[in-house]
Chains A and B, each alone.
Chain A
Amino acid sequence: MSEMTKIVKTTANILFPFTMIFGLYVIAHGHLTPGGGFQGGAIVVSGCALLLVAYGSSWVFDRIKDKRLAAFESLGAIGFITIAFLGLMFSAVFFGNFLAGSGSLFGTTPATGSTLADFNTGGVLPLMNFAVGVKVIAGLFVIVLVMAYASSTKEWG
């Protein structure tokens, strides 16, 4: 993909931070609102795809190392399983929610009835959403990059 006009670039510059924030919001609020790690990760990658379209693939290839993305993808998956193992260690149940109700990180018991959502709840669920989010961002971005790479080699013939 080649680079596009200044109008597209400026629009992408304005939209990019909002897309990122929205994507990260969906990941972080996965245990409270619809969405979660996968959906939020897909939104973040759509922001990255926006950059790819606006600035062209060679600009992005200069700034992103695909090996590092692959490592992040593995880290996301490892984080997910590690949390499952931690559940085995701390609550004697594989995938056990050892943080729920503990009062510490994400450990508040949510109030019943019609209240505002409390972010500090959910136990290990938010952590698992983060892990899935990292994996999906890295994995999907690699896929988008590969597709951009394939189309750019076609252009150069």
Chain B
Amino acid sequence: MTFLETLLAHSPALVIATPLLSAFLVPLVGRISPRIRDIFALVMLGVTGCFIGLLASDVLSHGSRVYVFGAKNLSVPLVRILFEVDSMGMFMAIITVMLAGIAVIYSWSFLQKQDGLDKYYTLLLLVTTSALGMELTGDIFNFFVFLEISCIASCALIAFWVEEGEALEAAFKYIVVSSIGALFVLFAIGLLYAQYNALNIATLAHLLQFSFLDKIILVLLLVSLGMKAGLAPMHMWIPDSYGRTPPSIVLLIMSATLASFYGILRVIFTMYGNVLTTPLRFSLPAHLIIGWILIALAIVSILIGVIMALIQTDLLRLIAYAAVAEIGYMFLAIGTSIAALGTTYATVALQGGVLHILNDAIDIGLLFLVAGAIYFVAKKRSLDDISGLARNMKYTTVFFIIGLLAVAGMPPLNGFTSKFLIYESVYQVNPILSIIALLGSILLLAVFIKVFYAAFLGPELPELKDVKEAPRSMLLAMGFLAALAVCIGLFPNIFLDALVKPAATALLDHAQYINMVVGGL
């Protein structure tokens, strides 16, 4: 085996181990010089990105792979911790590492004058590790462990501006919500282990009978992971924690949120993939009921998100509500895909949902970074106190326009591609749903036009007369996201064919996922 092949064979472990190792190296490097520490964090994320790239190119061309920890091969009984890497997991890992890298670049300038940055970078890398672990693991208990790491590390990060009381309150709310969620997950895992004597996702999927307990487990997992993902009735922690932290941290919490969303996809499509067509009450198949429940919650998410965003005056909080609406779109897509399982537009809906994960990360991330830049130069949160910033911040204004058009799903940008796939497929299920989805987008556009007018246009305020353009590293971070938004908007086919379609196929093909582990014995 050549060096590259060895590296490739171990890359699933290295993807997790590299950020974990560097998380603990950061405080030591920080004792040498803060400047070196900042660069070190980015370089290590770059190395992780290289491993992910290597793994992704192999997974996309040669199919998924299984990595066994602590042994060379799989053996009976399946007590080993497995990593099962497929194109869906790789797609999520790429998003996670991209968000983390951008957060590091952005925080170079944004958090320059703060202290406690050693711990900040440690926690940042730990959240990245946990999100990557949740996305690559093939073991449900291991998934829970990474979920806990992400809860604790994100909670500490949310409390970063601890001298503001609200940040502490938001962190407390987050830790309460996510610990309850994590305990639900643990309870569900306990029930699964008691029934099937296995913790491996593929083995569980193979053995699952859809007994009464299995239905309870499904509900527990959906509720707890939905809570972490910010689905409507459990979304209340999102505005607090997104609105009270530095925007670079929001990107990381968002990656943890998206990893929980990925967990829902994995549970429904893979773990319950075999039993989705079982008839439940009134001889309705299970997938129809689950799908419609998710669609209903998604519609509530979209409406609550946009309507609450309309009345906010705090810019960061406003974008947080828009993020809730965007999460609603993702759930609408997968709900449609589950409800219409087996039809062609189910696949289209799933592709739309999967692409929307990437677009949500880019659009909402970009808007948060712009809001952070405004906060950085003007030191104000409320829209009532800022006005006429476009005079001095021309790049930031352009990035905000790109972000607002993208999040509202306007044609030349990335939001349009995924939202169009979603409208198109949702229309087949029920036209009213697509009307509501369109209405949500229009309201989002209205919200952000209002923000644009209030913050960037209008009269120049005397106290904001000599604001400067945001520092270079922040512009670089925003520029990267904006460029990506334009690229995906202009050439959606490249991204769809290369990343999204394989990911959606991998999700729908649960038999292959199960076979990778169970079939090899």
Interface string of B11-27 (1 = CB under 8 A from A): 00110010011011111
B76 within 8 A of A: no
How many Å lie between the Cα of A77 and that of B25 in the bound state?
9
Chain B residue, CB-CB nearest to A70: B27
How many Å lie between the Cα of A75 and that of B27 in the bound state?
10
Q: A78-B21, A81-B17, A88-B10 are in contact. Are A94 and B69 (CB under 8 A)?
A: yes
B139 to chain A, nearest CB (A): 14
B490 within 8 A of A: no
- The answer on a CB contact under 8 Å between A85 and B27 is no
Residue numbers in B under 8 Å from A93 (CB-CB): 69-72
Q: A71-B27, A74-B27, A74-B28 are in contact. Are A96 and B17 (CB under 8 A)?
A: no
Residue numbers in A under 8 Å from B24 (CB-CB): 74, 77-78, 81
Interface string of A85-113 (1 = CB under 8 A from B): 10010001111110000000000000000
A84 within 8 A of B: yes
- The answer on a CB contact under 8 Å between B28 and A96 is no
B31 within 8 A of A: yes
- The answer on a CB contact under 8 Å between A71 and B28 is yes
B16 to chain A, nearest CB (A): 9
B124 to chain A, nearest CB (A): 15
How many Å lie between the Cα of A67 and that of B13 in the bound state?
31
Which residues in window 11-49 of A have CB below 8 A to B? none
Main secondary structure of the interface of A (DSSP, over half): helix
B81 to chain A, nearest CB (A): 9
How many Å lie between the Cα of A67 and that of B14 in the bound state?
29
- The answer on a CB contact under 8 Å between A81 and B21 is yes
How many Å lie between the Cα of A33 and that of B6 in the bound state?
37
Main secondary structure of the interface of B (DSSP, over half): helix
How many Å lie between the Cα of A93 and that of B14 in the bound state?
11
Residue numbers in A under 8 Å from B6 (CB-CB): 92
- The answer on a CB contact under 8 Å between B69 and A95 is yes
- The answer on a CB contact under 8 Å between A94 and B17 is yes
How many Å lie between the Cα of A67 and that of B116 in the bound state?
12
Interface string of B106-139 (1 = CB under 8 A from A): 0000000000001000000000000000000000
- The answer on a CB contact under 8 Å between A94 and B25 is no
- The answer on a CB contact under 8 Å between A94 and B70 is yes
Chain B residue, CB-CB nearest to A78: B24
A121 to chain B, nearest CB (A): 18
- The answer on a CB contact under 8 Å between B10 and A94 is yes
Q: A71-B28, A78-B24, A78-B25 are in contact. Are A92 and B17 (CB under 8 A)?
A: no
How many Å lie between the Cα of A82 and that of B22 in the bound state?
11
Which residues in window 48-91 of B have CB below 8 A to A? 69-72
Give the residue among B13, B24, B71 with the most A Cβ atoms within 10 A: B24
Give the residue among A75, A84, A94 with the most B Cβ atoms within 10 A: A94
Chain A residue, CB-CB nearest to B24: A77
Interface size class for chain A? Answer: 10 to 19
How many Å lie between the Cα of A70 and that of B119 in the bound state?
10
Chain A residue, CB-CB nearest to B72: A93
How many Å lie between the Cα of A5 and that of B400 in the bound state?
66
How many Å lie between the Cα of A92 and that of B26 in the bound state?
27
How many Å lie between the Cα of A94 and that of B71 in the bound state?
8
- The answer on a CB contact under 8 Å between B25 and A74 is yes
Chain B residue, CB-CB nearest to A91: B72
- The answer on a CB contact under 8 Å between B31 and A84 is no
Chain A residue, CB-CB nearest to B25: A78
Chain A residue, CB-CB nearest to B71: A93
Instruction: Point out the residue from B17, B25, B26, B118 that lies within 8 Å of A84, measured CB to CB.
Output: B17
How many Å lie between the Cα of A71 and that of B30 in the bound state?
10
How many Å lie between the Cα of A81 and that of B10 in the bound state?
15
How many Å lie between the Cα of A96 and that of B69 in the bound state?
8
Residue numbers in B under 8 Å from A75 (CB-CB): 28
Chain B residue, CB-CB nearest to A76: B24
How many Å lie between the Cα of A67 and that of B31 in the bound state?
9
Chain B residue, CB-CB nearest to A75: B28
Chain A residue, CB-CB nearest to B20: A81
How many Å lie between the Cα of A86 and that of B71 in the bound state?
14
Residue numbers in A under 8 Å from B69 (CB-CB): 93-95
Instruction: Point out the residue from A74, A82, A88, A97 that lies within 8 Å of B13, measured CB to CB.
Output: A88
Residue numbers in B under 8 Å from A97 (CB-CB): 70
Chain A residue, CB-CB nearest to B118: A70
How many Å lie between the Cα of A82 and that of B21 in the bound state?
8
Interface string of A104-138 (1 = CB under 8 A from B): 00000000000000000000000000000000000
A139 to chain B, nearest CB (A): 11
How many Å lie between the Cα of A67 and that of B25 in the bound state?
14
A41 to chain B, nearest CB (A): 16
A66 to chain B, nearest CB (A): 12
- The answer on a CB contact under 8 Å between A85 and B25 is no
- The answer on a CB contact under 8 Å between A92 and B72 is yes
Residue numbers in A under 8 Å from B21 (CB-CB): 78, 81-82, 85
Which residues in window 57-87 of A have CB below 8 A to B? 67, 70-71, 74-75, 77-78, 81-82, 84-85
B332 to chain A, nearest CB (A): 40
Chain A residue, CB-CB nearest to B12: A94
How many Å lie between the Cα of A1 and that of B267 in the bound state?
51
- Given A85-B17, A85-B21, A88-B10, 10 more A-B residue pairs with CB atoms under 8 Å apart are A70-B118, A74-B24, A74-B27, A75-B28, A88-B13, A92-B72, A93-B70, A93-B71, A94-B10, A94-B13
30 residue pairs A–B, Cβ–Cβ below 8 Å? A67-B31, A70-B27, A71-B27, A71-B28, A71-B31, A74-B24, A74-B26, A74-B28, A77-B23, A77-B24, A78-B21, A78-B24, A78-B25, A78-B28, A81-B20, A81-B24, A82-B21, A84-B17, A85-B17, A85-B21, A93-B69, A93-B70, A93-B71, A93-B72, A94-B10, A94-B69, A94-B70, A95-B69, A95-B70, A97-B70
Listed from nearest, the 9 A-B pairs whose CB atoms lie closest are: A77-B24, A94-B13, A74-B24, A81-B21, A74-B27, A95-B70, A78-B24, A74-B28, A95-B69
